[in-house]
Amino acid sequence: MTTRKHLIAGNWKMNGTQASTTEFFNSLNPADFCTQSADYLICPPATCLHTAQDAISGQKLPIATGSQTMDYHESGAYTGELSTDMILETGATHAIIGHSERRQYYNETDDTVSQKVEAAINAGLIPIACVGETLDERDAGQADTIVTTQTQHALSRVPKGTCPSKLVIAYEPVWAIGTGKTCDSAEANRVCGVIRATVARLLGDDVANGVRILYGGSVKPGNAAELFGLPDIDGGLIGGASLKATDYTDIAKATAGLTQTACSV
C-alpha cells in the first residue's frame, strides 16, 4: 500500500517583485504548515527565485521553490530561456512544464513538453507536467482523449521504473483557469483517475500509485478540503489564491491530516 503526501504548489505567473516576494514569505508562520501530510511549493517569477529562497531560509519555512518554465537545451543561443542548471543554481527543486498558458501563448507542444520532462528528470529537477482540455474539447466529449494523449506525450521519454517522487502531473481544465469556474470535484477526481490509469499503462502500477496528480483549476480556500480529500487528487497547482499569503495559508491548513492511500490501479 502506497501513501502519497499532498503537494500544495503555488504558480504566481507574471506577478510579484523581489520586495513583494520578501513580504509574502515574511508574513507566513511555519506553524501553519503540516509537513506530515503535505509538501509546499511556490513558483515565483524567475527574477524572484533567489529572493524567495533567502526569505524562506530566514523564516525557516518548509516551502520549496520552482520555476514556471525551462528549456530542454543545456545551453546555447536560446535568448530568454532558462536551463536546468540555471534553475537548480537558485535552489529550486521543481519546474512547471506545459502549462496551458505556455501552450497557448508561447507555442509549447506535446513534443517540447516531453523533451522538457526528460531534461528535468535527467538534471534532478522535478517536472510538474500539465495536461488539460479546453471548453470546446470538453463540450465535444474529448476531455478524456485529450488528457490521455497529452499524458502519453509528456511521459514518452520517461523510463519505466522511474521513482514516482521525481515526477508530478497537474490536471488543469483550461476552461477553469482564472475564470472563477471550478470543475465539479467528482469529475476532477475522475479525470485525475484517467491520468493515473494512463501512467500505469506507460510506467507501471508502482509509479502510478506513487505519482502525485494535482488539480489546477481555480483552487481556493473554500474548495481545497473537498478537492484534496478525494482519492486521486493529491493537491493543487494554485494560481491566484497563491498570491495572497492568507489564502495560501488557508489552503495549506485545509490539507492538515489528509493523506492519500493508493490502492492498485
Q: What is the pLDDT of residues 86-95, one digit of tens each?
A: 999 999 999 9
Reported confidence tier of residue 69, pLDDT bands at 50, 70, 90: very high
Sign of CA dihedral 226, 231, 233, 234: positive
Closest CA to 168 of 130, 135, 133, 200: 130
Give the separation between CA 85 and CA 73, rounded to whole angstroms: 10
Cα 80 to Cα 36, 48, 83: the distances in Å are: 38, 16, 10
Query: What is the rounded average pLDDT of the residues 133-162?
Result: 94
**Which of 6, 94, 99, 153 does the annotation list as catalytic?**
99
Q: Is the pLDDT of residue 264 over 60?
A: no
The tens digit of pLDDT for each residue in 21-62 reads 999 999 999 999 999 889 999 999 999 999 999 999 999 999
Do residues 75 and 83 make contact, with C-beta atoms less than 8 angstroms apart? yes
pLDDT at 175: 83
- The domain segmentation of the chain, as residue ranges, is 2-262
Distance CA 227, CA 6 (A): 11
Q: What is the pLDDT of residues 200-251, one digit of tens each?
A: 999 999 999 999 999 998 899 999 999 999 999 999 999 999 999 999 999 9
Q: What is the mean pLDDT of residues 66-77?
A: 98
pLDDT > 90: percent of the chain? 86
Say what the pTM is.
0.94
Model pLDDT, residue 180: 66
Whether residue 23 lies in the annotated active site: no
Read off the pLDDT of each residue in 112-121 and give the average, rounded to a whole number.
98
Q: Which bin fits 132, alpha (ψ -120 to 50), beta or left (φ > 0)?
A: left
φ, ψ (nearest 5 deg) of residue 126: -95, 115
Question: Please, what is the average pLDDT of the chain?
Answer: 93
| Strand partners of residue 39 | 7
Q: Is residue 94 annotated as a catalytic residue, yes or no?
A: no
Question: 2-262, what's its fold?
Answer: TIM Barrel (3.20.20)
Give 263's pLDDT tier (boundaries 50, 70, 90). very low
Mean pLDDT of 248-258: 86
Predicted pLDDT of residue 218:
83
Say which of 101, 118, 133, 172 is annotated catalytic.
172
Q: Mean pLDDT throughout 165-185? A: 85
What b/e readout covers 118-139, taking b as 16+ CB neighbours within 10 angstroms? bbbbebebbbbbbbbbbeebbe
Q: Is 176 helix (H, G, I), strand (E, B) or coil?
A: helix
